[in-house]
Amino acid sequence: MSCIVEIALSCPLRQTFDYLSDDPAENWQIGMRASVSFGSRQLIGIVVAIKPIAEKAVDKLKKIDQQIDKQSFLPNEIMQLVQWVSRYYHHPVGECFQTALPKRLRLGDPDEMQTETYWILHQQPDSTSKTGKKQQQILDLLEDYPEGLSEKALRVQLGNVKSSLSALVQQNVVAARQYVALPVPCLELQQQVLLNNQQKQSIETILGSKGQFSTFLLQGITGSGKTEVYIETCREFVENQQQVLVLIPEIGLTTQFVERFRQSLNASIVVINSSVSDSDRKQAWLLARAGKADIIIGTRSAVFTPMINPGLIIIDEEHDSSYKQQDGLRYHARNVALMRAKSLNIPIVLGSATPSLETLYQVKQQRYQFLELTERAGGASLPKVALLAAQNSSENNGLSSSLINAIEKHIKQNHQVLLFINRRGFAPVLMCHQCHWQANCRSCDAKMVVHQHQNRLFCHHCGLIQILPKICPECGNTELKSYGVGTEKIEQALTAIFKDVPVLRIDRDSTQRVNSFANMVKQINQGQAAILVGTQMLAKGHDFHDVTLVGVVDADQALFSADFRATESLAQLITQVTGRAGRGKKAGEVLIQTEQPEHPFWQNLLQHGYESVADNLLSERIQMELPPHGFWAVWRAEAKEKDLAIELLQQVSGLLQQSNSSVLILGPVPALMEKRAGRYRAQLLMRSADRGALHQLIDQHIDSVTKLKLARKARWSIDIDPTEL
């Protein structure tokens, strides 16, 4: 008896597809993968339903080419989650499954875990035989690990063990077994730190919600011991055989964070982020699904990792913008994680030194429980923060003389200095004095950025590259001047001023090669005096113990930005950067160089801290009816032809207005940067006090939007809970 199998395929169509299977329905399960032909392509899809054969139109159905899984593949919980994501974000379900699966499995790799050779103690050596030193070390270790250790694990601990191992095998003392490959355990765990009262309190409160849905905001300044709270909370869950999912932002270096977990917990810890190979990601995913990974640490898409026995979700740096995907399926991992915790009925912890306004808003409405760490752990004190007027800074390539003096003072004490500037390249503007020509990008409404090292102009929005012109293309003037500062200019200026001090530039340009970032971090941690110049890559999460001065250059732009989130981001960034100073035993100092030392933003931030700034911003947003107030969706469109995107959105607006709905429709208007990468962009906003009404209105019309003629000429998308307006 054959059956009909309904399959979600990765294509832009908002539907699933029926295929005919020669196998009986019993051979199929929801969540399995199948390979089918679709148009001219061969695709792999996920089974979403199995149906008996109806009489009508069976002969029109194509046959399934191959059933990839013979037993259940995607657990029901993940099926439900992905389908919810598809409905909530109004995104084609097949593409949602794509996001949820690691690449190898998406492409049809068999559902099999890698195995590797583990060495186990087979029998005690007979007393007459002589055991070498290394052999004895191996035996001692294996005694502690009755389930065996891989050669890799032995090597990490003891160096090369090949010959000793084979000798032991010869004597029949050690035997080889083929087991599922687990992450290499840390064989020498670190001692637990003595937790302070606030840490203990936080952990107890979280543990009090074991087995029930509850959301916590753990707010603690950088260095207050949040990571320690995560680790000790995990310990409790791991001991009860419950799994923990830990989400971290996409930043260059997660190694430090993961290492602390590994060195503290006797647990199987897998990592799912972009630095992990496709086959290791697949393995991590399968280990998590099988319950063989206790802790899963990963970036955004790891939120979809299946777990057999989930106990807790943690989101570190919950305010970080990398949790929101800004193309394709525009989901927010924090939002998906909250939904997941709710349906699993487990607690979820959001941690940050600078919580998002979204999260603070929920705390205010008493939907989240508030946990706070107010002091730096381990006795380190918070740095002094002061403003510097940026007078005469342009004469010194962007550095004021008071900042230079401060750097000199710290360097003389053999400490390290971190200078933070949120722009890579040499200078953001290239201009001709005579005719006022400026180097603009021909594909974007943006200026080209001077990159002197490469002798090029770069557009940071579309990637356009040009040779750095020597003469003005308009008037032939030979003196082109650059204005403003970037990391390269600051690096150059400092190298000229501090001749014997190494200056390290850390930005996307200087860290392109694999490991270059890790190598620089190593160099920094070796502790010689040095000046580090970097972009926000440096601002997040790194623990440089010898940095005593943090300088912020050119932070003002955000205060005049049209982006409604700019001040929030600036306050977060400054607070995070501030956390980089004085992490070790030495006291730290932060100097912020600004053209606007009198600006109320700075006064408020310095005198009252992030919380007060966030509080003001939140009141402002509520008053102006901006997010997180209300529920929002944005239709975005872009097209090569000017006005086409706007026209499409006008038609969308027309459709939406047909319904008698309480939802407010605003626009369409051109995007903040109208032209980008050769396309003109526009947006149409929807706002409502009622989440249900908003989604209903979209549901009512999205199919008609798909059918609009213009919808085929312009690219369009819908963005739910947008973080950019």
Question: What residue numbers does the annotated binding site for Zn(2+) cover?
Answer: 432, 435, 441, 444, 459, 462, 472, 475
Cβ neighbours for 45, distance < 8 A, ≥ 6 positions apart: 7, 8, 9, 10, 17, 33, 34, 36, 94, 97
Partner whose binding site includes residue 196, from ligand ADP, Zn ion, none (CB under 5 to 8 Å by kind): ligand ADP
The position carrying tokens 């280990």 is 287
CB of 255 to ligand ADP, least distance (A): 14
Q: Does 711 bind ligand ADP (CB under 6 A)?
A: no
Nearer to ligand ADP, 260 or 409 (CB): 260
Partner whose binding site includes residue 222, from ligand ADP, Zn ion, none (CB under 5 to 8 Å by kind): ligand ADP
The span of 170-178, 372-380, 438-446, 533-541 binding Zn ion (CB under 5 A) equals: 438-446
Q: Does 373 bind Zn ion (CB under 5 A)?
A: no
CB of 373 to ligand ADP, least distance (A): 7
CB of 242 to ligand ADP, least distance (A): 22
- Which of 57, 194, 467, 624: binder of ligand ADP (CB under 6 A)? 194
Angle of helix 255-264 relative to helix 226-239, nearest 10 degrees, comes to 50
Q: For residue 89, report the phi and psi dihedrals to the nearest 5 degrees.
A: -90, 5
CB of 334 to ligand ADP, least distance (A): 18
Partner whose binding site includes residue 396, from ligand ADP, Zn ion, none (CB under 5 to 8 Å by kind): none
- Which of 198, 222, 283, 352: binder of ligand ADP (CB under 6 A)? 222
Residue 383: exposure state from Cβ atoms within 10 A (0-12, 13-18, ≥19): buried
Q: For residue 177, report the phi and psi dihedrals to the nearest 5 degrees.
A: -135, 145
- Which of 113, 175, 195, 677: binder of ligand ADP (CB under 6 A)? 195
Q: Are 446 and 440 in contact (CB under 8 A)?
A: yes
Other C-beta atoms lying within 10 Å of the C-beta of residue 294: 26
Q: Return the beta strands (E) in 412-546 as ranges.
A: 416-420, 429-432, 449-451, 456-458, 465-467, 480-483, 503-506, 530-534
Q: Does 377 bind ligand ADP (CB under 6 A)?
A: yes
Nearer to Zn ion, 165 or 459 (CB): 459
Partner whose binding site includes residue 194, from ligand ADP, Zn ion, none (CB under 5 to 8 Å by kind): ligand ADP
**Among the residues of 388-466, which ranges form H helices?**
401-412
In the window 156-185, what residues touch Zn ion (CB under 5 A)?
Answer: none
Other C-beta atoms lying within 10 Å of the C-beta of residue 24: 11
Over the range 344-358, which residues count as b (16 or more CB within 10 Å of their CB) and which as e?
bebbbbbbbbbbbbb
Q: Does 228 bind ligand ADP (CB under 6 A)?
A: yes
Residue 567: exposure state from Cβ atoms within 10 A (0-12, 13-18, ≥19): buried
The position carrying tokens 């995104």 is 91
- Which of 221, 307, 341, 472: binder of Zn ion (CB under 5 A)? 472
Other C-beta atoms lying within 10 Å of the C-beta of residue 395: 10
Q: Does 388 bind ligand ADP (CB under 6 A)?
A: no
One character per residue 152-191, x = contact with ligand ADP (rule: CB under 6 A)? ----------------------------------------
Nearer to ligand ADP, 193 or 664 (CB): 193
CB of 492 to Zn ion, least distance (A): 25
Q: Does 355 bind ligand ADP (CB under 6 A)?
A: no
Over the range 175-205, which residues count as b (16 or more CB within 10 Å of their CB) and which as e?
eeeeeebbbbbbeeeeeeeebeebbeebbeb
Q: Are 378 and 222 in contact (CB under 8 A)?
A: no
Nearer to Zn ion, 433 or 712 (CB): 433
CB of 67 to ligand ADP, least distance (A): 47
In the complex, the residues that contact Zn ion under the rule CB under 5 A are: 432, 434-435, 437, 441, 443-444, 459, 461-462, 464, 472, 474-475, 477
